[in-house]
Amino acid sequence: MWHSLKTTLEMIKIEHTLFALPFALLGAVLAARGLPEWRTLFWIVVAMVGARSAAMAFNRLADREIDARNPRTKMRAIPAGLLTPRFVALFTLVSAMLFFLAASQLNRLTLLLSPVALGSVLLYSYTKRFTALSHIVLGWCLAIAPTGAWIAVRGTIDSPTPLLLSLAVLLWTAGFDILYACQDRDFDLAAGLHSIPGRFGIGRALWIARTLHLFMFAALVAVYFLTGLHWIGLAGVAATGALLVYQHSIVRAEDLSRLDMAFFTTNAWVSVILFATAAADIFLFE
C-alpha cells in the first residue's frame, strides 16, 4: 500500500504543484492585501493539492492506453505495471473528496463552484481526443487557482484583479503546454490526437506559444498597475518577462533538446518569483 502510494505521488509529480500553488497564494495575498488568516491559507493549500492530485491521477488513468503506445510515456506507472488502474482510480476519488472538503471549509461560494473547478480539470484529460485547443483548456484549469483563492479570502469577485491574474495564468500555461507538446507531434498525428504542433507544425506552434506569452506579460503589467504595487512587484514582472524570453530562446523548431529545461525549471521559477515579489511588495509597503 505504501509503495503504491509513493509510486502514485511520483507518477503525478506532486512536486510540480509548485506551478500553480504560488498563483493561488498570490491571489490570496492580493485579496487580503497582506497575509490571510492561517486557516484560510491552510485550506487553500489543501484544495490545491487535492484538485491537482485528482487531475493528474485521472489523466494518467484516462491516458493509460495512449501512454502505453507512446515511446516517451510507455514506462509511466500504469502502462509499466507498477500501479493498477483500480488503485489510481481510488487515489483520484480520495483526492477529489479532499478537494471538496477543503472547499466546504472556506466559504459557501467556493463550495458551490468546486464542481465546476474539479469538472474542468478532469475534462481536460479527454480534450486532446477532439480539439487542438486542449492547451487552452489546460490553461483554464490552472487559471482557476488565483480567482478561486481570491474568492476563498473575500467570498466574492469584487475586482477585475483576480480575473486578469487568471487570464495571465491561462495564457502562460497554454503557451508552455504548446512547447511541451512539440516533442509528441509525430506520435499525436499517428494516434489521431489533436494539438497545436500537430495542426500547424512545430515552427508555427512555437510562434503561437510566443504570442500567448507576450499577451500573458501584458496581462501581468495590467495586474501590476491595477494593484498599485511598487518597485518590488515591478521587478517581479520584469524578471518574469526575462524568463519568458530565455525560455523561448533555448527552444527552436530544429532543436528541442532543451525542452525539459524550458518546461520544468523556467516555469517553476515564474510562479515563485511573481508570488515572492508581489507578497514582499505588499508586506513592506502596506
pLDDT tens-digit readout, 206-259: 999 999 999 999 999 999 999 999 999 999 999 999 999 998 888 888 888 877
Which amino acid appears at position 2 of this protein?
Answer: W
pLDDT value at 17 more than 70: no
Average pLDDT over residues 111-123: 95
pLDDT for 262 equals 67
Contact status, residue 182 vs residue 51, Cβ threshold 8 Å: no
How much is the average pLDDT of 54-68? 93
pTM score of the predicted model:
0.93
Sketch out the chain's domains with CATH numbers.
Answer: 2-285 (1.10.357.140)
Helix (DSSP H) and strand (DSSP E) numbers for the chain: 14, 0
Is the torsion defined by CA of 159, 165, 171, 173 positive or negative? negative
Q: What's the whole-number mean pLDDT along residues 263-279?
A: 86
Query: Residue 116: pLDDT above 90?
Result: yes
Share of the chain above pLDDT 70, in %: 95
Tell me the three cell numbers of residue 200.
Answer: 500547424
Q: What is the mean pLDDT of the chain?
A: 92
**pLDDT for the residue numbered 250:** 86
Give Cα 222 distance to the centre of its chain.
Answer: 21
141 DSSP 8-state letter? H
Q: What pLDDT sits at residue 274? A: 95
pLDDT of residue 286: 78
Predicted pLDDT at 263: 67
* pLDDT one-digit tens code per residue, 38-54: 999 999 999 999 999 99
Q: For residue range 163-208, list pLDDT tens digits in order.
A: 999 999 999 999 999 998 998 999 999 999 999 999 999 999 999 9
Give the contacts of 278 (CB within 8 A, at least 6 positions apart).
26, 29, 30, 227, 229, 232, 233, 236
What confidence score (pLDDT) does residue 226 get?
A: 96
pLDDT at 23: 94
Give per-residue burial for 113-152: e unless 16+ CB within 10 Å, then b: ebeebbebbbebbebbeeebbbbbbbbbbbbbbbbbbbbb
